[in-house]
């Protein structure tokens, strides 16, 4: 059984997520992807063109998955844990925006098993 399959809560998922986003360019592209969702929501809201919301998964996942396939060379966490991954995307974006993403998560020995 893979390490990803053993994850049962967000606290356990976060260190896995961070390790899958180890490169600065990957994190930057994920931030771009997350911010693109906010831009599309704002655009839909201000123009009342609600069809713009349909672009969110295409644009955001397209940018993020590109970084996994061509930069990290790993499998996107979304495939195994879509809801934890979405929450982690927003957590990472928030931490990046306040300059605290470089702080590594605390990984205790029992989480390494």
The domain segmentation of the chain, as residue ranges, is: 24-112
What angle (nearest 5°) sits at the alpha carbon of residue 71, between those of residues 65 and 76? Answer: 35
Separation of alpha carbons 50 and 9, rounded Å: 33
> Would you give the distance in Å from CA 73 to the centre of its chain?
15
pLDDT digits (tens, 9 = 90+) for 79-104: 999 999 999 999 999 999 999 987 55
69: Cα within 13 Å, side-chain hemisphere: 8
pLDDT digits (tens, 9 = 90+) for 15-59: 999 999 999 999 999 999 999 999 999 999 999 999 999 999 999
CA nearest neighbour of 60 among 37, 39, 44: 37
């Amino acid at each position: 059984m893979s390490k990803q399959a053993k994850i049962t809560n967000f606290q356990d998922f976060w260190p896995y997520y961070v390790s899958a986003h180890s490169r600065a360019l990957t994190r930057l592209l994920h931030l771009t992807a997350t911010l693109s969702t906010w831009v599309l929501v704002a655009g839909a809201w201000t123009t009342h063109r609600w069809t713009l919301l349909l672009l969110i998964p295409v644009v955001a996942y397209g940018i993020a998955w590109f970084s996994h396939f061509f930069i990290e060379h790993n499998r996107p966490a979304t495939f195994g844990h879509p809801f934890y991954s979405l929450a982690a995307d927003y957590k990472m974006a928030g931490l990046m925006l306040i300059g605290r993403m470089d702080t590594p998560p605390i990984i205790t020995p029992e989480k390494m098993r």
